[in-house]
Amino acid sequence: MKDTFYITTAIDYANDKPHIGHAYEKVLTDVIARFQKARGKDVFFLTGTDEHGEKVFKAAKKKGEDPQKFVDDISERFRNLCTILSVENDDFIRTTHSRHEEANKKIVKAMHEKGDIYKGEYEGWYCVPCESYWTDKQLDEGKCPECNREVEKKKEEGYFFRLSKYEEDLLELYDQKPDFVFPESRKKELLNRIEDGLRDLCITRSAFEWGVPFPIDDDYTTYVWVDALSNYITALGYPEGDKFNKYWPANVHMIGKDITWFHAVIWPAMLMSLGVDLPETVCAHGFLNLGGEKMSKSKGNVLDPFELVEAYGTDALRYSLLSGGSIGEDSDFSEELLVKKLNNELADNLGNFVHRTLSFLNSNFDGGIPEREEFTESDEELVEETRRTVDEAGKDLEELSLNTALEKVMALSKKGNQYLNANEPWNNEGRAPNVLNVCGNLCKNISIILFPFLPDCAEKIWEQLGIDESIRSKEWEDAKDFELSDHEIGEPEPLFKKRDVQTKEEEKRSQI
């Protein structure tokens, strides 16, 4: 087991402002990165923007802007999205960066030298939004099988990557590395498609100049997906950078399920051509649905994460995204559901337990966690439950079952409330020191295992507990310890405020 951990999001297409789906992927990835840091791993977390291609070029021209200025503005919005979501990425790669473009050219040259690139002619159905060619058989009622939009017939001369050459190698990969594609259902879809036979991939475009110049022939630009996929190694300084040697291969590529083909077929084939080790897992998460429908700009049902954070806070948005369901399946999301979870789960459960505990300590123990005697059976049950939760939630996170791990953290908070009610320290002076010592330590332990999910909330708990940076632990296993004793706490404040869903019209009226 290597002591490094490299995780990436898909780089976001810079043709429009971020939406809630982008926020979802970044938060999922951030949780895993923070958890691996808590496990003691040296983590590198990459995100960024995909800024070339026909779709971006057309979007810029539609606005009457220079493509570079257009993508500069969009890319900055994605950087800001990371900030408001408390996403702790280590690098932000842009495909218009010179460091990326130069390394991408080296990648294309290396595949050419391997004999895997040749010149030929291609004809097929082209989907501009997906930047993909499709055959008659692959079309869904004459439309793109991925986005269900119109396609156009194109015929052009260009350069091809010998994808068909790696068909058997890919099938062997799926057989020998069963966890290469997660979840299992996505792998089955890929296998069915590969077994129909792989065709070589056209990796150049000649109709426009907005892209990385194709290093073999100046008359072409590099196909946007060959450009974009390579970011995972160009950001590390491929082929000889220190970060590349240290962190590659990636442990997890976090992507949306609609781009699994590119990441689990084309990308590994490119790496095989380069003679570069393959990533460990391509994790294809599901979509967020609104009212049972996939969110899309054309339907007008896309939610703005910036507005949601402004209205309800980062913790509420992160929690609602993470608690929606299994990472591999589609899940429902709405502003109403966010508010319900904020009120019922964050405020009434977690916030209630922490505030009850700290307020009782503040008013009855001179603002400090008291010393305790030996654990009673009741105390020991909660201590053991805490340690069991730390182990089980950690196992869930290793297996990318984020929502299950979060459920267990919240269940532990609920057990803390039940323990307080059952032991009634307000009516039992003799038991009170032990009970409040256990509860004060439980608040600290919950904050440690909550930190990957809700880092801002965890920081607030540490501050209210009087745990400064010098003694603050983010190490996962430290959440099993009940060592705080005779410890002065800070000023208790509610972690969450209950909210109602407020429409934009109501918000405007309230500001008049």
Q: Are strands 152-161 and 201-202 parallel, antiparallel or unpaired?
A: antiparallel
Closest-CA residue to 201 (of 233, 158, 246, 259): 158
- Dihedral of CA 93/94/97/99: which sign? positive
pLDDT of residue 140: 83
For residue 342, which of 307, 308, 304 has the smallest C-alpha distance? 308
Are 199 and 163 in contact, with CB atoms under 8 Å apart?
yes
E strands, 218-334, are 221-222, 252-256, 281-285, 288-290, 293-294, 331-332
CA 400/CA 185 separation, integer angstroms: 15
pLDDT digits (tens, 9 = 90+) for 395-440: 999 999 999 999 999 999 999 999 999 999 999 999 999 999 999 9
Please tell me the predicted confidence (pLDDT) of residue 509.
Answer: 43
Q: What is the DSSP string of 6-41?
A: EEEEPPEETTS---HHHHHHHHHHHHHHHHHHHTT-
Look at residue 2 and give its three-state secondary structure. Answer: coil
Pairwise CA distance, residues 368 & 373, whole Å? 16
What is the model's pTM? 0.93
* pLDDT at position 505: 43
Q: How far is CA 456 from the centre of its chain?
A: 17
In 10 A of CB 368, how many CB atoms?
17
Residues of the chain with pLDDT under 70: 1, 207, 297-299, 502-512
**What is the four-CA torsion angle of 305, 310, 312, 313, rounded to 10 degrees?**
90
Q: What residue ranges define each of the domains in the chain, with the CATH number in brackets?
A: 4-285 (3.40.50.620), 334-488 (1.10.730.10)
User: CA–CA separation, 417 vs 375, rounded Å?
Assistant: 18
Distance between CA atoms of residues 435 and 378, nearest Å: 9
Structure tokens at 446: 């919950």
The full length of the chain comes to 512
pLDDT above 70 coverage of the chain, percent: 97
SS3 for 424-447 is: CHHHCCCCHHHHHHHHHHHHHHHH
pLDDT at 1: 64
In this predicted model, what pLDDT tens digit does every residue of 57-92 receive, in sequence order? Answer: 999 999 999 999 999 999 999 999 999 999 999 999
Give the side-chain half-sphere CA count within 13 A for 472.
Answer: 16
Q: What pLDDT sits at residue 512?
A: 45
